[in-house]
Amino acid sequence: ICSFVRSPKGFPKLKNDTFLRAARGEETEHTPVWCMRQAGRYLPEFRETRAAQDFFATCRSPKLCCELTLQPLRRFPLDAAIIFSDILVVPQALGMEVVMVPGKGPTFTEPLKEVEDLLKLRQKVDVTAELGYVFQAITLTRHSLEGRVPLIGFSGAPWTLMSYMIEGGGSTTMAKAKSWLYRHPEASHQLLRLLANVVTDYLVGQVAAGAQALQLFESHAGHLGPEQFQDFALPYIQDIAQAVKNKLKEEALPLVPMIIFAKDAHYALRDLANAGYEVVGLDWTIRPQEARAQTGKDVTLQGNLDPCALYAPKEKIGELVKKMLEGFGTQRYIANLGHGLYPDISPEHVGAFVEAVHAHSRHINKH
């Protein structure tokens, strides 16, 4: 199983690069597929591995992160692995305490309430010192994958992280966080800029550690309207893509494909397609043809089966996948769900989804 290897150099040769080729817009024999939250509670072995440990203690254990990342690949012929971690490790790196409360989810012991609270945050973050455990997990997992599939690294985007830091956890309205955007626009930008800088260094560090692609999660985009998205989300999404690419060049690191996934942000698809990412991820609330029309021919699309479709009988999953592939086309496309897997979805149905993508895309490509 996962034993720790210190040097990130000398990684095993990649055997299946279908996901990376699709991300770069190159031709593929089949449509690659992976699932958001593919390392998750829907797998009994995941629940078993996680049982004894606090959630964030698990995130800080490179060995456990490696094991959890590999579990779905032992079951399914997925075309990519995504490192097991959490977006809230970034606020932790800024000095905030986050605990996982059973039945409630991630909870900040002291959320940001007043503008003055920004002074409590670390203004300069040494990502290696604060998040080195993620880098170690990536290096270890990259070796342990033995070149089977590429490894994806990720981060939350600034607005999504800011909303958690102010709300103190999940929220249906994000009213506290949004009130900052209206009441304290300057302080909001100050916080978003700080987050963007840390996220940039964090993503570059993940590539240095061995990540072969990066995904930025703007999970709370749907709480913003077009104007607030333009002001408080998009500029930082664009800056991160540009800054990461510049730093990778400066540090002579591989220029890896980057994915932006802004949930419920179809009002901004044109802007997202021009934000500097190779891939735009989509949730399930938009038609494939419409997404293609809005994003043009120069980006790869990823998504967007409704996760609840996996509750359907297996034959039905196959039909839905076929329809999705016909809508997107099999090229410049990465199959995925429109959000993460839910904990009560049957692993067999996840397998049916993965197999249907491979079978139908090969069939469409032949004919």
Q: Which pair of tokens denotes residue 27?
A: 């031709």
* Three-state DSSP state, 30: coil
Contacts of 339 (CB under 8 A, 6+ apart): 36, 263, 283, 284, 307
Contact 205, 251 (CB under 8 A): no
Q: Which of 37, 85, 311 is nearest to 211 (CA)?
A: 85
Cα separation, 79 vs 17, in Å, equals 8
* DSSP letters for 162-174: HHHHHHSS--SS-
User: Strand, coil or helix: what is 80?
Assistant: coil
Rounded-to-integer distance, Cα 68 and Cα 116, Å: 39
β-bridge partners, 105: 101
DSSP string, 257-300: -EEEEETT-GGGHHHHHTSS-SEEE--TTS-HHHHHHHH-SSSE
Per the listing, tokens 């999660």 go with: 217
Three-state SS sequence of 50-64: HCCCCHHHHHCCHHH
Identify whether the C-beta of residue 185 lies closer than 8 Å to the C-beta of residue 230: no
Do the beta carbons of residue 98 and residue 80 sit within 8 Å? no
DSSP 8-state code for residue 6: -
- Which residues are catalytic, by number? 37, 41, 50, 86, 164
Residue 144 tokens, joined = 């342990």
Q: Which residues pair with 154 in a beta bridge?
A: 215
CA distance linking residue 18 with residue 99, whole number of Å: 37
Question: How many whole angstroms separate alpha carbon 241 and alpha carbon 258?
Answer: 8
Distance, CA of 367 to CA of 361 (rounded, Å)? 10
